[in-house]
């Protein structure tokens, strides 16, 4: 239920601010979004997997907190990232 290393590297390279960036809020949100999508598919196949459901909820809450931070700090980047990742807010 984790994303592949190659996929994660691709996501980081698509969303990084500069060459050595791997921890900016944009990168973290993009990686969390990929993990959330993977866990959502898992939950559709295994609806009674409550441990994975708990992990999914933790990831969704973490992404919401990071998006709120990004909205406070730079609303323009927040809007661009939400558009790019297909998030509602």
| CA dist., res. 76 & res. 32, Å (int) | 20
Give 2's pLDDT tier (boundaries 50, 70, 90). confident
Whether residue 24 has pLDDT greater than 80: yes
Could you please report the per-residue DSSP string of 15-82? H-SSTT---SHHHHHHHHHHHHHHHHHHHHH-TT-HHHHHHHHHHHHHHHHHHHHHHHH-HHHHHHHH
Give 22's pLDDT tier (boundaries 50, 70, 90). confident
> Where are the chain's structural domains?
5-11+21-85
Is the entire prediction scored with pTM above 0.95? no
Pick the CATH number of 5-11+21-85 from 1.10.287.10, 1.10.357.10, 1.20.120.1200, 3.60.9.10: 1.10.287.10
Residues 36-82 pLDDT 10s: 999 999 999 999 999 999 999 999 999 999 999 999 999 999 999 99
Q: Give whole-number Cα distances, 52 to 4, 17, 34, in Å.
A: 18, 31, 15
Task: Answer whether 68's CB lies under 8 Å from 48's CB.
Answer: no
Overall average pLDDT of the 8-26 stretch:
92
């Amino acid at each position: 239920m984790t994303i592949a290393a190659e996929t994660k590297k691709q996501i980081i390279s698509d969303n990084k601010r500069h060459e050595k960036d791997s921890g900016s809020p944009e990168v973290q949100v993009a990686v969390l979004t990929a993990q959330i999508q993977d866990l959502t598919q898992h939950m559709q196949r295994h609806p009674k997997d409550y441990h994975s459901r708990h992990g999914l909820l933790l990831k969704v809450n973490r992404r919401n907190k990071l998006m709120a931070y990004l909205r406070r700090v730079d609303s323009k980047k927040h809007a661009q990232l939400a558009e790019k990742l297909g998030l509602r807010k």
